[in-house]
A and B are shown apart, each in its own frame.
Chain A
Amino acid sequence: MESRTRRLTVSSIAALAAAALVAGCGGSGSTGSSGADGDTLTLWTHNAGNAAEYGVVKQIVKDFNAGQSKYKVKIQAFPQGSYNDSVVAAASAKKLPCILDVDGPNVPNWAWGGYLAPLDLSKGKVAVKDQLTSTVATYQDKTYAFGFYDVALTMYSRKSVLKKYDIRVPTLDQPWTKGEFMDALAKIKASGKFKNTLDLGTGDPGEWWPYAYSPMLQSFGGDLIDRSAYKTAKGALNGEKAVEWGKWFRSLVTKGYAPQKSSKSPADDFRNGKTAIQWDGSWSAQANTDKFGSDLAILPPVDFGDGPKIGGASWQWGMSSTCSNKEGAQAYLNFSRQTKYFVDFAKATGTIAATDAAAQQVKGYETGGQFNIFLKAAQEFAVVRPVTPAYPYISTVFSKTARDILAGANVSSALDQAVSQIDNNLSTNNYSTGS
């Protein structure tokens, strides 16, 4: 009997051992995730599945590895939709890579949380001062990240449509006023020709909401937070101007101009002629041009009173604070700061190169070019999202509040509630703030 029990125990252990063995066969990669192994540095990018941008990253790494013999950079690519989860999980296991990219608005949070180390970019060929301000992330007077490009919000329409309904084509110097914009929507709506008079892209659940709609709030004269000290949202997010924005935002739905929830692909709806005016980003410009040619109208954002505004800051590069070879990481980052790489990124991704010199070399973005409007907008209208470690929290609260407002919540009480949540978060966490 004893032997039977033992046999059973043995087989149970055998099962576990088998599991161990099967799993062990492929599990040789257990050394790959420390930030640096001597002079071999790991680099993380959000570009898995984005061959164009990933290609540029690979090219820079290849050039860097070939150009000197001291350091070697090794790339790991992640899909962007879940990049933050991957980074946060790695940080909790103390396994951050040396070099990583980061979505601009998250930089203060990651810098404050000890993920990122300040950078010395003085050795790069491109001077920091030549960059669009939205592409350099500073927090507490230190630079933590820089980007090679930015993107711009814009409205797409068709010249033929605007002409048909006798609507003035707005320009950078003379954007639509709120009144003009509402008249235009009314005219198009009255024609009954379009499923969506205006499509704001409200079907997207993520960071799109604060990126796309807080500039409208800012153009009305409100903001996500009082930027004088970053200690409260009071007044900025629930003042008279903000309430005015909220009521206007809701009216787009009640008047039947914009869908409360857009389809999964508003850009395709626009190209299929279902939408008259679409609020979107510069990244759709090429596909829209391919479809409509010279009939495509790229319109600057509306001036709701405080000037036209768009969001600033896209993906940027930084160095982790746990990196065991910071010199190597700095060397790589400084090496990458060459105009040709700024050009390559912008060409590959259809974005706005972060320096004027680079932008001039990207077809369409040069002075007089069809997409030069994006560069101008990024220079003149861009507002970065609040430079505070509280930003990820503020972002979720704003998204939810804006969604509630579109669904018919009482505007002032919804905004008051958002303010009290944000203020509570600011006071219970010991954030240090300010750019």
Chain B
Amino acid sequence: MTSLPSRPGTAAGAPQARRPTRRRSRRRESLTALGMVSPAVFLLLLFFVIPVVLAFALAFTNARLVSPTPAEFTGLQNFRTLLDDPLFYKSLRNTFYFAAVVVPLQGGLALVLALLVNAKVKGVNFFRTVYFIPVVTSMVVVSILWTLMYQKTGLVNELISQLTFGVVHGPDWLNNPSTAMPAIIFMSVWQGVGFHMVIWLAGLQTIPQDLYEAADIDGATRWVRFRYVTWPGLRTTRTFVLITITIAAFSLFAQVSVMTQGGPLDSTTTVVYQAVQTGYAQQQTGYASAISLVFFVLVLAVSLVQRFLTREKD
């Protein structure tokens, strides 16, 4: 326990003479809180809630992107079509597959990276920056390189072949229905891991130094330090990383759009990719909205379950 910092301007003054009653101070606290959240809430209502409600309302119509006639109310027609759409089930399966692999993989790897560059070693600033590079590199550049590396004669297979002394010859990654999704996963983790490394890093800064010092005095091993100091200290960061990676993983779109366009044979199509393709290229706005609405409900359910599970453990 270290002592609280004394702050010039707030601490030095004499004790307040007035002590408002508890009820009044509670009421004031509520009002102040409302004032503080109101700019954000107002902006979210204006630029998120209203357009999203508009978008979801379209799910119950036959709205088209280009049409001479206004949209007509069609009830649950779009949802009935969706239930019979084999592509939607493929998209759903691929999306869950992607999320199930990426969430633990990217979250875990990002933590490893964060720990690696949180040490007091020469050049950590350099390494942090380098690990962050894929996050800021344009998708155009990334897609050229990875498309090339994933070719049958590309760099990835070259490496595999060298590492196994020529025993294993890799596949044509992006053109093979069984390897396209793993290839997308690997590339996505590579591109996104630096982002979550930064968040873990911020979390690591909140762990009090004296806890480590105490552990050192006790002669704790690295693992013990991690298990009993670092890991519990990252509790709130963990929830954050888990929820945000999950949601980002469910929204997989850009990589698929530039690398595979959902192929080969629908092996990489995802729900958001299908929604965008349906809504823009195919001009079926109403149907695309129905896809988005169903997707929203599903992810919301998953997130609620996730929050419930992480809460129970605490």
Residue numbers of A with Cβ under 8 A of B are: 1, 4-5, 8-9, 12, 15-16, 85, 88, 91, 109-110, 112-115, 203, 205, 260-261, 263-264, 389, 392-393, 395-396, 399-400, 403-404, 406-409, 428-430
B265: CB under 8 A from chain A? Answer: yes
Q: B residues within 8 A CB of A429?
A: 64
Asked whether A396 lies within 8 Å of B282 as measured between CB atoms, the reply is: yes
Complex-state Cα separation, A91 to B175, whole angstroms = 38
Asked whether A5 lies within 8 Å of B147 as measured between CB atoms, the reply is: no
Asked whether A393 lies within 8 Å of B283 as measured between CB atoms, the reply is: yes
B263: CB under 8 A from chain A? Answer: yes
B280: CB under 8 A from chain A? Answer: yes
Asked whether A15 lies within 8 Å of B39 as measured between CB atoms, the reply is: yes
Asked whether B38 lies within 8 Å of A12 as measured between CB atoms, the reply is: yes
Asked whether B264 lies within 8 Å of A205 as measured between CB atoms, the reply is: no
CB within 8 A of B282: which of A8, A112, A392?
A392
CB of A397, distance to nearest CB on chain B (Å):
8
Asked whether B283 lies within 8 Å of A392 as measured between CB atoms, the reply is: yes
Complex-state Cα separation, A115 to B68, whole angstroms = 9
Complex-state Cα separation, A406 to B148, whole angstroms = 19
Complex-state Cα separation, A50 to B277, whole angstroms = 27
List 30 contacting pairs A-B, 8 Å CB cutoff, sorted by A.
A5-B31, A8-B32, A12-B35, A12-B38, A12-B39, A15-B39, A16-B42, A88-B280, A91-B66, A109-B66, A112-B68, A113-B64, A113-B67, A114-B68, A203-B147, A205-B258, A205-B261, A261-B174, A263-B147, A264-B143, A392-B66, A392-B282, A393-B284, A395-B281, A399-B261, A403-B263, A406-B264, A407-B175, A407-B263, A407-B265
Complex-state Cα separation, A230 to B45, whole angstroms = 45
Complex-state Cα separation, A261 to B259, whole angstroms = 10
Given contacts A113-B68, A260-B175, contact A408 B32 (CB under 8 A): no
B44: CB under 8 A from chain A? Answer: no
B177: CB under 8 A from chain A? Answer: yes
CB within 8 A of A407: which of B68, B177, B280?
B177
Q: A residues within 8 A CB of B282?
A: 392-393, 396
Asked whether B68 lies within 8 Å of A264 as measured between CB atoms, the reply is: no
Residue numbers of B with Cβ under 8 A of A are: 20, 24, 28, 31-32, 35-36, 38-39, 42, 62, 64-69, 143-144, 147-148, 172, 174-175, 177, 257-258, 261-266, 277, 280-284
Asked whether B20 lies within 8 Å of A8 as measured between CB atoms, the reply is: no
Q: B residues within 8 A CB of A110?
A: 66
Complex-state Cα separation, A407 to B265, whole angstroms = 7
CB within 8 A of A1: which of B28, B65, B266?
B28
Asked whether B35 lies within 8 Å of A5 as measured between CB atoms, the reply is: yes
CB of A88, distance to nearest CB on chain B (Å):
6
Q: B residues within 8 A CB of A428?
A: 62
CB of A338, distance to nearest CB on chain B (Å):
32
Complex-state Cα separation, A399 to B143, whole angstroms = 20
Q: A residues within 8 A CB of B174?
A: 261
Complex-state Cα separation, A9 to B33, whole angstroms = 10
